[in-house]
Amino acid sequence: MKTRQRRGLAVLVLAVTTCSSLALDAQAASAFPAGDFVVPFNYTVNASTHLKTLNQTITVPPGKFVGGIDLYTGALVGNISLPPAKFTFKLAGVLPLVTATAKIASTKPVTGNLDVSTFVVTATATFNIRILSAYATGTTVNLVGNSCETKTAVTVTMSGDANFGSPSTFSGTYTLPDLQNCGLATTALNLVLPGPGNTFTAIATSN
């Protein structure tokens, strides 16, 4: 078993070092013990989420995932940033089709672990979901104002195989909490969006 782990670590060092010529930023570096061999990464992330209540998949424009992996412990720490995404839905049957723009806003760094013997990554992301705007078809009034967001943070733990040099897919499930501060639309939104059993998928490609 130890031989397998050493071989896995050797392959990992070679693969990650070959794919990355980056310097670890100060914030990420401070998350690891001094003196550990930490390899930085910089990924383009193509993310999507399937909302169970709407039976709809929302595709997020490409974002970034940057951070580092401690090759002594397998610990992973990084920061993910994703642009806003648009989706459409009917607001509790009261209004016609609504087009909304939502953004995932991280509340803390992504943390996780890389198993150097199997290359399986498990990572947990914590974030709020903000509804930046919502417009009923044919109108120009933002139904949700400027402060619409989840009441509590969303936590999603993802897992998948790390494929150095090729895209890696990670996925997990999460519960979408109730929304707050959405003006007169708050009640209607909470009838159609929150609930368990949603999935989050991220495809990471090294830069």
Sequence-separated (6 or more) residues with CB below 8 Å from residue 53: 176, 192, 193, 194, 195
Supply the CATH number for residue 118's domain: 2.40.160
Distance, in Å, from the CA atom of 121 to the CA atom of 174, rounded to the nearest integer, reads 18
Buried b (16+ CB within 10 A) or exposed e, 152-191: ebbebebebebebeeebebebebebbebeebeebbebbbe
pLDDT at 28: 61
Q: Looking at this protein, which amino acid is placed at residue 193?
A: L
- The helix, strand and coil proportions of the chain, stated in percent and rounded to the nearest 5, come to 15, 50, 30
Within 116-194, strands assigned E span 120-136, 149-150, 154-161, 168-176, 179-180
pLDDT at 187: 93
Number of domains in the chain: 1
pTM above 0.85, yes or no: no
pLDDT in tens, the chain (207 residues): 444 444 444 444 444 544 444 455 555 667 787 878 888 889 999 999 999 999 999 999 999 999 999 988 899 999 999 999 999 988 766 557 899 999 999 999 999 999 988 889 999 999 999 999 999 988 899 999 999 999 999 999 999 998 877 899 999 999 999 999 999 899 999 999 999 999 999 999 988
Sequence-separated (6 or more) residues with CB below 8 Å from residue 73: 33, 36
Q: What is the Cβ-side half-sphere exposure of residue 90, based on CA atoms within 13 angstroms?
A: 5
Tokens of 182: 């959405």
Domain enclosing residue 104, as ranges: 2-206
Within 22-96, strands assigned E span 38-51, 56-59, 63-70, 75-81, 85-90
Helices and strands (DSSP H and E) totals, the chain = 3, 12
